[in-house]
Amino acid sequence: MGRATPPPRPARPERPLLRPPKEMPKRRAFGSMAGRIALLHALAHIELNAIDLGWDLVARFSGEELPRAFFDDWVGVAAEEARHFELLTDRLADFGVAYGDLPAHDGLWEAAAATADDLLARLAVVPLVLEARGLDVTPEMAARLERIGDVQTAAILQRIYRDEIGHVAIGLRWFEHLCRTRGLDPEAVFHERVRRCFKGDLKRPFNHEARTAAGFPAHYYEPLAEHEPC
Ligand SMILES: [Fe+2]
Ligand SMILES: [Fe+2]
């Protein structure tokens, strides 16, 4: 491993145009072709950011005393994110659409910027909040696609879902490893970093089954969740 200082933002293609999240057009009904295209495009955009986030972890924290296995794991994650991007953009091509044809929002890199100088914060927010959130919402999206007869797109989402369980597991493993080597209590550090670096509460409902499969126990994330309505 060498050392590198990556740029604050990764290079981006000229399109899609990046807009503030508030200015994004509302997602259309799922059943319509336009709705499905908007969904695929939004997911492809997330995966492109995920590729960059994987490589950013490798490059930005190359100066820390970390075992080789840490970097190998994140290179592996970035490769899977690239595969996800490809699966989604191939499916978009079936509908005659390319990545970049629709606008996309620029909220995703904010999490990276907010945690650029703190590896524990980066691991807490990116794999353990954002990717774990993906586990909560993906099964329902896949089920809805199956119900409208788009089994091909549903299968892509299921493949992504299985891989993402692994990404959360890798995130947790290294988060706990770092806490242990620094003599810190992982749960307390997780709560503190998420409260400081992530805007808002974690959203219910949680997919406990998938989170458990990733080895991610509820006592990490339940205390950070929005209150249940009475
Ligand atoms: Fe992914
Ligand atoms: Fe991922």
Task: Give tens-digit pLDDT for 17-32.
Answer: 888 877 776 766 778 8
Distance 93 CA to ligand 2 centre (A): 22
Ligand nearest to the CA of 165: 2
What pLDDT, on the 0 to 100 scale, is given for residue 230? 55
Residues with Cβ–ion distance below 5 A, ligand 1: 47, 50, 81, 84
CA separation (Å) from 155 to 32, 130, 182? Answer: 19, 22, 41
147: which residues sit within 8 A by CB, 6+ positions away?
none
User: Could you report the per-residue pLDDT of 129-185, keeping only the tens digit for each?
Assistant: 999 999 999 999 999 999 999 999 999 999 999 999 999 999 999 999 999 999 999
pLDDT for the residue 22: 77
Ligand 1 centre from 196 Cα, in Å? 25
Rounded to the nearest angstrom, the distance between the alpha carbon of 229 and the centre of ligand 2 is 30
User: In this predicted structure, what is the pLDDT of residue 28?
Assistant: 66
pTM of the model: 0.95
What is the residue-averaged pLDDT of the chain? 93
Closest ligand to Cα 76: 2
How much distance in Å is there from the Cα of 77 to the middle of ligand 2?
Answer: 6
Ligand 1 centroid to residue 229 C-alpha, Å? 31
Share of the chain above pLDDT 70, in %: 97
Taking the centre of ligand 2 as the mean of its atom positions, its distance from the CA of residue 14, in whole angstroms, is: 24
Radius of gyration of the chain (CA): 18
